[in-house]
């Protein structure tokens, strides 16, 4: 009997980074569990050893912690139904696979990979569904015993019933049915003694008392095999919910070719965890009204599987940027300081020292101009190093033959200032322009180019205030020397 307390699981394979689709699966499971005072389990499905990546488990756990999805049972934490890493549960799977063989619901298969490949090729050439031809199902008990004694490699296959319609209900897909003629005699236990996903998944979900299986749409074709296994073991089937695919803007399946797909990529760029989680939540689910900005606590309160749609959800980077910006607006410079520091610690500026006060001023100046924190380094590197080159279009437009002389006069005015603030820089520039009989704009544009190398950015006097008098003078002198018409 399935537990009365709601228990859900996120069961990733440790094959590298956490895909944003995996994060959505984890998030929906987490929200459903928290809303229903249930248990959120992390289970590591590492039975495909050919795809295992060293360090991936630690990275998964670290990334889930970063986004704030704390699991209740799983690796490191433990729990009543562990171990929670499938490679540590091999004896359990072998026991259940053997039980199915003894009951005539599965069988040994000794076919070589060459024979299987040839069989599939021939079936495909005939235009037939490429499934196993049950050659080994016809072996006599004595033949099987002989092959086992000879230590021939084997797998254990599930025996799929003939002429049967497998029906199930999915919270998102509703009623689904499929003919057993379209289901292969699935391998349950591989020749290396490891289970396939199908056996391990069903056994673990049952033994861990999982009540609801919430996972991606790509697993939908596997469900009939799982239903059969539940029936063979006489176990209750959990409630099923298969989430829609994530799509690129061109409606193709979300892939690395069209942009970042790993959660770690967005963390490295300095997206807020709040912004990323908010955006991911809306990929397939909607609150039923016009609201788009949510905290994790608000999502827990509002989320429901009934409001998850069937159609694919488009991963729109512009929407992510907009949502992230809304969360940036909610934070103080002090709250954002650790994020910028982390970005700097991984940048070419990692060995340079910047005071907290300095960095908070930079954040204040740039917070309306960025969608993520690496954008500060991308859009305003001049806060961390003097410009090495200058915008040629801006030079052509705003740097005249007389500009060095004008800037020389401005340096004289700036040199007289004592511990200046932004209004002091502004007043000094106004005095210079007036003395030269110039419009302020002619000097403002030249100074912006000199100190930043760019034609865009925050207000000029904010930049000057942040950089400070000595650095500003040094940069203007450098520009006078380096910019040649």
Give residue-wise pLDDT tens across range 300-317: 999 999 999 999 999 999
Domain boundaries, the chain: 1-75+244-327, 91-196, 331-381, 386-482
Residue 259's pLDDT is: 73
Residue 349's pLDDT is: 97
CA distance 237 to 212: 9
In CATH terms, the fold of domain 1-75+244-327 is Rossmann fold (3.40.50)
Query: Do β-strands 246-247 and 313-314 pair in parallel, antiparallel, or remain unpaired?
Result: parallel
Class of domain 91-196: alpha beta
Give residue-wise pLDDT tens across range 325-356: 999 999 999 999 999 999 999 999 999 999 99
2 — pLDDT class (breaks 50, 70, 90): low
Contact between 166 and 231 under an 8 Å Cβ cutoff? The reply is: no
Give residue-wise pLDDT tens across range 92-129: 999 999 999 999 999 999 999 999 999 999 988 888 88
To the nearest whole number, what is the mean pLDDT of the chain?
Answer: 95
CA distance 63 to 58: 9
Residue 260's pLDDT is: 81
Query: Do β-strands 39-42 and 7-10 pair in parallel, antiparallel, or remain unpaired?
Result: parallel
Residue 257's pLDDT is: 65
Does the pTM surpass 0.75? The reply is yes
CA distance 140 to 233: 25
Contact between 144 and 214 under an 8 Å Cβ cutoff? The reply is: no
Return phi, psi of residue 9, to 5°: -140, 150
Contact between 93 and 233 under an 8 Å Cβ cutoff? The reply is: no
Tokens of 286: 């909607």
Quick count: other Cβ atoms within 10 Å of Cβ 81? Answer: 16
Could you tell me which of 281, 363, 312 has the C-alpha nearest to residue 29?
Answer: 281
| CB half-sphere exposure, 347, CA atoms < 13 A | 21
Q: What is the DSSP letter of 265?
A: H
Quick count: other Cβ atoms within 10 Å of Cβ 361? Answer: 17
CA distance 210 to 8: 5
Quick count: other Cβ atoms within 10 Å of Cβ 237? Answer: 18
Class of domain 386-482: mainly alpha
Residue 1's pLDDT is: 46
Give residue-wise pLDDT tens across range 221-256: 999 999 999 999 999 999 999 999 999 998 888 876
Give residue-wise pLDDT tens across range 68-90: 999 999 999 999 999 999 999 99
Alpha-carbon dihedral sign for residues 399, 404, 406, 412: positive
Cis peptide before 83 (omega within 30 of 0): yes
Q: Which residue has the higher pLDDT, 48 or 104?
A: 104
The SS3 call for residue 205 is helix
**Residue 205 in this model has a pLDDT that exceeds 70:** yes
Tokens of 199: 């056996």
Contact between 46 and 52 under an 8 Å Cβ cutoff? The reply is: yes
Give residue-wise pLDDT tens across range 121-158: 998 888 888 889 999 999 999 999 999 999 999 999 99
Q: Which residues are catalytic?
A: 256
């Amino acid at each position: 009997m399935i537990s009365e307390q709601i228990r859900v699981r996120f069961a990733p394979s440790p094959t590298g980074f956490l895909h944003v689709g995996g994060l959505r699966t984890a998030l929906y499971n987490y929200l459903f569990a928290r809303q229903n005072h249930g248990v959120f389990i992390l289970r590591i499905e590492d039975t495909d050893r050919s795809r295992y990546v060293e360090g991936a488990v630690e990275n998964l756990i670290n990334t889930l912690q970063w986004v704030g999805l704390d699991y209740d049972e799983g690796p490191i934490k433990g729990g009543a139904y562990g171990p929670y890493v499938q490679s540590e549960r091999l004896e359990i799977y072998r026991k259940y696979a053997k039980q199915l063989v003894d009951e005539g619901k599965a069988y040994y298969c000794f076919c070589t990979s060459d024979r299987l490949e040839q069989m599939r090729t021939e079936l495909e050439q005939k235009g037939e569904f490429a499934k196993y031809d049950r050659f080994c199902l016809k072996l006599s008990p004595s033949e099987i015993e002989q092959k086992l004694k000879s230590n021939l490699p084997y797998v254990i296959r599930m025996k799929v019933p003939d002429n049967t319609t497998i029906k199930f209900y999915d919270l998102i897909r509703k009623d689904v049915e499929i003919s057993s003629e379209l289901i292969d005699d699935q391998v349950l236990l591989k020749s290396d003694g490891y289970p396939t996903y199908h056996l391990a998944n069903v056994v673990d979900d049952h033994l861990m008392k999982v009540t609801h299986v919430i996972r991606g749409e790509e697993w939908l074709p596997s469900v009939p095999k799982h239903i059969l296994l539940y029936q063979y073991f006489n176990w209750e089937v959990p409630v099923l919910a298969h989430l829609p695919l994530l799509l690129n803007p061109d409606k193709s399946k979300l892939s690395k070719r069209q942009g970042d797909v790993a959660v770690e990529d967005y963390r490295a760029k300095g997206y807020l965890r709040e912004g990323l989680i908010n955006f991911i939540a809306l990929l397939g689910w909607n609150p039923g009204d016009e609201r788009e900005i949510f905290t994790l606590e608000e999502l827990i309160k509002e989320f429901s599987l009934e409001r998850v749609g069937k159609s694919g959800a488009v991963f729109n980077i512009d929407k992510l940027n907009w949502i992230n910006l809304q969360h940036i607006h909610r934070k103080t410079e002090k709250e954002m300081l650790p994020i910028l520091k982390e970005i700097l610690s991984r940048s070419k500026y990692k060995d340079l020292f910047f005071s907290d006060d300095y960095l908070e001023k930079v954040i204040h100046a740039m917070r309306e101009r960025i969608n993520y924190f690496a954008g500060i380094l991308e859009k305003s590197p001049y806060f961390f190093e003097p410009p090495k080159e200058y915008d040629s279009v801006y030079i052509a437009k705003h740097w005249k033959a007389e500009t060095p002389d004008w800037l020389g006069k401005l340096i004289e005015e700036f040199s007289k200032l004592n511990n200046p603030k932004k209004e002091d820089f502004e007043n000094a520039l106004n005095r210079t322009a007036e003395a030269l009989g110039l419009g302020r704009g002619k000097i403002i544009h030249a100074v912006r180019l000199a100190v930043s190398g760019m034609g865009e950015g925050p207000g000029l006097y904010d930049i000057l205030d942040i950089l400070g008098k000595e650095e500003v003078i040094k940069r203007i002198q450098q520009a006078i020397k380096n910019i040649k018409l």
